C-alpha cells in the first residue's frame, strides 16, 4: 500500500461494500412514496369535511390505518436518507457533521414514532379519548 | 482543513448560464428539504392533535381555520396556514415530478439534450399546473 497519492492509499482495500445500499433503499422508499402520497392526498380531498368524527372514522378503518402507517414509515425513511445526503454535502467539519447526523436520526425516529403511536391509538380506539 | 487561498477554484454556480436541467436539480433538493421539515411538522402536528382527542383537535383546527369576518383568509383558511399548505402542495408535486424524472434517468433513459430539457421544463410547468388545479378543486367546494 502506497502513501504518496490518494489512489495509492486506497488501492487494494476494496469497496466499502455497502455504498449501493443507501442508493437502492432511497429508490425503494421513493416508489413507496409514489404509491402512498397520492393515496393520502386523494383520500383527504375526498373526505366530506376535516372534522374530528369524519377524520377518525376514516383513519380507524384497517385499510386507512395500515396505509397511513406505511406512508409514515416510507416518507420518514426517505427524508432521513435525503437530508443525510444534504448534510454530507454541505457540512464539512467532521464534528459538526457527526452532530448533525445524530440530531437528524434522533429527530426523525422520534417524529416517526410519535406518528405511529398516534395512528395506532386512533385505529384501536376509533378516536375516543 | 488548511487551504491555500491562492489556489484557483473551479467555477461555481454564479458563472454558469442557468438552464432547466440545473434548475430542476436544485429544486429537487430544495423541495425535498421543504417537504421533510414543513410537511413532516404539519403531518405530525395533525396526527398528534387527532390522537389527543376532540378538544386538542378542535384547537388545532382553530389555528388553521379563519374566524368569521377575518379578511386575511383564503377559502376559510387563515392566511399563514394557507401559504404553508400551498407551499407544501407545490413542493410535493415538484418533488414527485422530478423524482419520477430521476427514476427514469436511473434506468439510463432521457439523457439526450433536447429530451432532458423538455422533461425538465415539463416537470416545472406540470407541478405549477397541478398545484393550481388542486387548490381550485379545494376552494371550489
pLDDT of residue A3: 61
At B10, list the grid cell. Answer: 473551479
Of B135, B39, B139, B129, residue with least CA distance to B93: B129
Report the percent of chain A where pLDDT is more than 90.
80
Whether residue A111 and residue B57 make contact (CB cut-off 8 A), yes or no, is no
Q: Are A80 and A24 in contact (CB under 8 A)?
A: no
What integer pLDDT is reported at residue A68 of this predicted model? 98
Which residues in chain B are closer than 8 Å to A76, comparing Cβ atoms? 40
Q: Calculate mean pLDDT across residues A28-35.
A: 98
B65: three-class secondary structure by DSSP: strand
CA nearest to A80 within chain B: B36
Q: How many residues does chain B have?
A: 141
**Contact list, A111 vs chain B (CB under 8 Å):** 40, 44
Yes or no, beta carbons of A119 and B47 under 8 Å apart: yes
**Residue A52 neighbours by CB distance under 10 Å:** 19
**Grid coordinates belonging to B118:** 423538455
Residue A72 has, within 13 A of its CA and on its CB side, a CA count of 24
Closest by Cα among B108, B101, B127, B111 to B25:
B101
Residue of A nearest to B102 (CA): A27
Closest to B103 (Cβ–Cβ): which among A30, A55, A122?
A30
The per-residue pLDDT for B40 is 97
Tally Cβ neighbours within 10 Å of residue A120.
13
Segment B58-117, tens digit of pLDDT: 999 999 999 888 888 898 899 999 999 999 999 999 999 999 999 999 999 999 999 999
- Has residue A1 got a pLDDT over 70? no
Q: Where are the domains of chain B?
A: 33-139
B40: exposed, middle or buried (Cβ count in 10 Å: 0-12, 13-18, 19+): buried
Q: Give A96 to chain B, closest Cα distance, Å.
A: 14
DSSP, res B15: G
Topology annotation, domain B33-139 = 3 helical TM bundles of succinate and fumarate reductases (1.20.1300)
pLDDT at residue A2 greater than cutoff 60: no
Cβ–Cβ below 8 Å for B51 and A117: yes
Helix (H) or strand (E) holding A13: none
Which residues have C-beta within 8 Å of that of residue B47, sequence separation ≥ 6?
A: A114, A115, A118, A119, A122
Instruction: Work out the pLDDT band at B2, boundaries 50, 70, 90.
Output: low
pLDDT reading at B3 higher than 70:
no
Report the C-alpha gap between B65 and A51 in whole angstroms: 12
Domains of chain A: 20-125 (1.20.1300.10)
pLDDT band with cut points at 50, 70 and 90 for residue B14: confident
Amino acid at each position: 500500500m502506497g502513501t504518496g497519492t490518494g489512489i495509492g492509499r486506497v488501492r487494494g482495500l476494496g469497496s466499502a461494500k455497502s455504498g449501493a445500499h443507501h442508493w437502492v433503499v432511497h429508490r425503494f422508499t421513493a416508489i413507496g412514496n409514489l404509491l402512498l402520497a397520492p393515496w393520502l392526498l386523494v383520500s383527504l380531498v375526498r373526505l366530506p369535511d376535516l372534522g374530528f368524527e369524519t377524520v377518525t372514522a376514516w383513519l380507524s378503518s384497517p385499510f386507512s390505518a395500515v396505509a397511513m402507517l406505511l406512508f409514515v414509515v416510507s416518507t420518514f425513511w426517505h427524508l432521513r436518507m435525503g437530508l443525510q445526503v444534504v448534510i454530507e454535502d454541505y457540512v464539512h467539519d467532521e464534528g459538526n457533521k457527526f452532530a448533525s447526523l445524530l440530531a437528524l436520526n434522533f429527530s426523525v425516529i422520534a417524529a416517526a414514532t410519535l406518528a405511529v403511536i398516534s395512528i395506532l391509538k386512533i385505529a384501536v380506539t376509533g378516536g375516543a379519548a | 482543513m488548511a487551504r491555500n487561498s491562492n489556489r484557483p477554484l473551479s467555477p461555481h454556480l454564479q458563472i454558469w448560464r442557468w438552464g432547466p436541467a440545473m434548475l430542476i436539480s436544485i429544486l429537487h433538493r430544495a423541495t425535498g428539504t421543504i417537504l421533510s421539515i414543513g410537511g413532516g411538522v404539519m403531518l405530525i402536528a395533525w396526527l398528534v392533535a387527532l390522537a389527543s382527542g376532540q378538544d386538542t383537535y378542535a384547537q388545532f383546527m382553530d389555528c388553521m381555520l379563519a374566524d368569521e369576518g377575518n379578511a386575511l383568509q383564503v377559502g376559510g383558511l387563515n392566511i399563514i396556514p394557507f401559504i404553508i399548505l400551498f407551499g407544501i402542495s407545490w413542493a410535493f408535486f415538484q418533488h414527485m415530478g422530478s423524482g419520477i424524472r430521476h427514476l427514469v434517468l436511473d434506468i439510463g433513459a432521457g439523457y439526450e439534450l433536447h429530451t432532458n430539457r423538455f422533461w425538465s421544463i415539463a416537470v416545472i410547468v406540470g407541478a405549477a399546473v397541478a398545484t393550481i388545479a388542486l387548490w381550485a378543486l379545494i376552494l371550489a367546494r
